[in-house]
Each structure stands twice: as C-alpha cells, then as structure tokens.
Chain A
C-alpha cells in the first residue's frame, strides 16, 4: 500500500523569480514518517506541494513514487491524502459528506462508500458527528474530520501541512499523540510539515531540517538534536548556548572561568552546548561562575538566564526548588563532551 517517494534534483522557482526550493534530492522509504522542519519561508511547504502535485518542479526535477515517475501526473490522479492547517473542510457538506467526498468522485457504489465512511469515522472517534455541519465543530474535531477525509480513499501517501498549528497547546499535544499512533498503525508513508521542533521530534522517524530552500540536515531526531551538522540546525532545533573564549593549556577560558577542553585546535573559539549539559553546583565546585539575569519558574523546573559566563546570556535549567533571584551568583559545571564546535 505505502510507497517510497523520491525527489530527484527538484527545484522550484516561482513566476516572480523567487527560488523557493533549491535543487534537492531526497528518498523517503515506504512506511516512513518524515518531518520537514524549518522556519517559515524555508521551502518546506513548497516541497510538500511538489510531492502532492500542487506545484511542478522546474524542468529537470522529478518526483518518483516507487520508481514510477509521477512528475507529470496531476494531483487528482496521484492518489495522495492531504491535511491542511486551515482544515479546508467543505462547508456545504456534512461531516459524513466530507469524508465520503473522495469516494464519491471515484464513483464507488453507495454501500461501499457508507461502509468506508463508517470505518473512518469510527477510527477517528467522530462517529456521532456524522450529520453535523462542519461549522458546528471545534478545531480538534475539524482536524479529525480532515484526517478521516484524507484517509478514506486509501491514499498512497499522507501529506500533512502544519495540521496542528491552529490548535491550542493542550489539544495539539493530544492530537499529536493520536496522529503518531495512527501513522504507526497504518504504516503509511507520511510527510509532515511543521515549524515546531517538539512536534518534529515526537512524530518523525526522520527529520529534514530546511533552511532557505535547501536541506540543512536529514537524520533521526536524536541525530539532529545531539549531532547537528551546522550552526543553523543546532540553534533551530532545541536551545543552544554559545561560549566564546580562548583555548589555552587544555582548557577553554571564558569570561566566567574555564572548562576542560577535549577538542582540537586552539586560539579563539566559539562553542555550543545544550542547557541540560550544564549543572548548577555549590560555590567552589564550579568551573565557571555567572549571575542570574532572569529566572522563569516553570513548575517542574526553573529556567535561568545567566550572564557573566560568556559574552551573551546562557540558558540553564534546574529542577531544584531554590528561589532564584536576579543578581544571585550561579556556579556551573559544563560537561566537556557536550561542547560542539561548528564552523558553519
């Protein structure tokens, strides 16, 4: 059922001359959930639309479904399921009518249509909404209907364009878990576009981080997080701290102290590390010392913005229950293995 998708030197330049997507090559094995992640305008949605058939690549670019070239096949014959941020439900039809639509245009017999609609509504747990008008639904219900509608005709691939962005945080988390379970169960090739890195981490078998129409990095969520290949990826995914200093005698010397240096090179460097790789310790036990600039109590933990360690502020998180005040001294130990040197 599910297909492999292959993009071969796909570029997209719009009529006004802007290059939205770079020439890019990408292979998505069957059954994989791949997430395009990037800031707005990075070309992730355009890439999704190239796969869908809503845009065609510049001459030379090709889109393959299981080795079959579908570049010239328009979206209505590509058999793809699409889910949009704005839901895009047909307002002139009921919930059932929306779900049935893809089956109706395929001219399936009425009995088969009814059975499939029933099945889809049951799967999305919205059976009781069948006769409702779509303007009577909540955002979460609308997106369930949109998913049921997209899946009803048994598409070869499911394409989701920021499906959760319009929902509030709690609902977003709940529906994300559900979408994840759904994709695992269906084993359907799915392409998911988002600018939310937490969503990307949670859903993606692999993540494609995009920047300015180009692929910045492709990899499993943990690879992207732990081994970013560029500054852009490092700073876009999760939070990154910068340390600016000089390497001397096996240590990186910064404004607030010194950290053991295991890397190569010397002289003036700038390194990055994740907040969770720094620990707050008692005075005297720390490698570096700084001052609390601001503290945010988040319930389960406290986030501190620390200044005086390096030129900028560092983000450090702690689960201790101390009441951190601005101006207070903070002593930190930074795991030397956590320091990333990225040249680009």
Chain B
C-alpha cells in the first residue's frame, strides 16, 4: 500500500499525478462511469434481491430449495465466465439477438454496452445479497407486521415502515460489499468492456500496455479509497460490524 502511494507521488509530476485523473478526460470518465455503475448495480441488486429474497423466505413451493441452491451458482464463477455468459446471452451471436431478430428482424446486441456490464454485474451481485436478505428476513418478527396491519397500515406501508427498516442492517452490509465488489470487478469488465472503460480496466491498461506506472498507482489508490470509504460509511451507519474485507 505504502509503496503504491510512494510510486504515485514519486513520479515526475509528484502529487500532481492525482490531478491528472481529474484533468485527463479519459481517466475521469473511467472513474465516474465505474462509480456510477457500482452505485446503480448496488441499488438494483438491493431492490431485486429484497423482493426475491423476502418472497423466497416467506413462500414454500415445490422446487424452492433447488431454486435457492441455483441462485448461489454465480458465486462459483470467475468474472470472465460471467462475462462470457453475458456475451452468449446478449452478444452478436447471442440468444437475445436471435430472438429479437425473429420478432423484429433486427438483432438486439447490448453485451458490450453499459447494459451488458450491468447484466453481468447484477448476475454475480444478486446471489451475495439475496442470501443476506433471506437470513435477515427470517429474523423479522411477523408480529410487527401484524401490529402494523391491525393499526390500519396498507401492504406498502408495512413494507415502508416495518420490513425495510427491519432489513436496514442487512441492506447496509450487503450493499457495501456489493458496491465494493462492483468497484473492483475485473474479469467481467475485461470480457465485456470494449465500448466503455471501468477503473480496474484502466489501471490494467495503464500498467501493462503503457507502462504508465505512476498513473496506474494513483488510480489504484483512488479506487481503494472510494471502496474503503463506502464500507466505512456503511459500518458507521449500521453501527455494528460489517466485514471490511471485501
């Protein structure tokens, strides 16, 4: 870590290496799109995982346990495989392309855009969050919902006033880890990001292809800093332990 900081500051421009990140549009764009992507992925993941997780926790139906087991599949795949799967789904030869060509006559290809990245990131983020949400949903006191309903609360008021506050600690911890993972994801981005560049990709390019070690180091510090900040904020907000090792 310290060496990384030293390398970044020890370049010909000194601390100004950090300034380059803001002034050079390519780096800034990469930084902003990574943060936006991670934030959007986190938000969407929380929404989807909460709905699915609470549903899976509350309902018993045939095949439920198989479904829950299958949901944990993505945890086993490296990012490259996830990216590969998105290409199979939404790439130039992909399933969605074939289907849309049959229906509309035009191939829908989004694997290499922001939408494709989003799909891949969601795929590996949802399982992590869904398991946390399910565990938290199990601990919710059903009497609280019944009390709210007896007081006249509608379904969505129960969600807003009882379920969401009850799941808040889970949202904070799972959300922070989801954000951190999305910030640092490399394999998926490496496979898919031909049109947009995310920070880990930029670092890779600067470091290996351009040998611009100073900027690569500065970008790495920034990446780590943002991620650490997100985890720290979540931990403060939750007031309890959130794993800082993501």
Of listed B147, B149, B154, residue having the most chain A CB within 10 A: B147
Least distance between B240 CB and chain A CB atoms (Å): 14
- Which residues of the other chain, B, contact A90 by a CB distance below 8 angstroms? 144, 147-148, 161-162, 165
**Residue B146 interfacial (CB < 8 Å):** yes
Within 8 A of A (CB), among B140-162: 141, 143-144, 146-154, 157, 161-162
Of listed A81, A88, A89, A159, residue having the most chain B CB within 10 A: A88
* Contacts known (A88-B143, A88-B144, A90-B144); A82 close to B150, Cβ less than 8 A: yes
- Which residues of the other chain, B, contact A159 by a CB distance below 8 angstroms? 150
Closest B residue to A107 by beta carbon equals: B152
**Residue A10 interfacial (CB < 8 Å):** no
**Residue A75 interfacial (CB < 8 Å):** yes
Interface residues on A, range: 20 to 34
Interface residues on B, range: 10 to 19
Contact check: which of B143, B149, B162, B166 meets A76 at CB < 8 Å?
Answer: B149
Least distance between B26 CB and chain A CB atoms (Å): 45
- Which residues of the other chain, A, contact B141 by a CB distance below 8 angstroms? 86, 88
Q: In the bound complex, what is the Cα–Cα distance between A250 and B148 (angstroms)?
A: 63
**Residue A261 interfacial (CB < 8 Å):** no
At the interface with chain B, which of A98-106, A110-118, A176-184, A220-228? A98-106
B165 engages A102 (CB within 8 Å)? no
**Residue A54 interfacial (CB < 8 Å):** yes
- Which residues of the other chain, A, contact B161 by a CB distance below 8 angstroms? 90, 92, 101
Least distance between A16 CB and chain B CB atoms (Å): 10
Q: Binary interface profile of B, 150-184, with partner A (CB < 8 Å = 1, else 0)? A: 11111001000110011010000000000000000
B143 engages A102 (CB within 8 Å)? no
- Which residues of the other chain, A, contact B143 by a CB distance below 8 angstroms? 84, 86, 88
B151 engages A92 (CB within 8 Å)? no
B146 engages A105 (CB within 8 Å)? no
* Contacts known (A86-B141, A88-B141); A79 close to B152, Cβ less than 8 A: yes
28 A-B residue pairs with Cβ-Cβ distance under 8 Å, sorted by A, are A75-B150, A76-B149, A76-B150, A76-B151, A76-B153, A76-B154, A79-B152, A81-B150, A82-B150, A84-B146, A84-B147, A88-B144, A88-B146, A89-B147, A90-B147, A90-B162, A92-B165, A92-B166, A101-B148, A105-B152, A105-B153, A106-B152, A146-B147, A149-B151, A150-B150, A150-B151, A153-B152, A159-B150
6 additional A-B residue pairs with CB within 8 Å, beyond A81-B150, A90-B148, A92-B165:
A52-B150, A54-B146, A88-B143, A92-B168, A105-B153, A150-B151
Which of B's residues lie within 8 Å of A, judged by CB? 141, 143-144, 146-154, 157, 161-162, 165-166, 168
Which of A's residues lie within 8 Å of B, judged by CB? 52, 54, 74-77, 79-82, 84, 86, 88-92, 101-102, 105-106, 146, 149-150, 153, 159
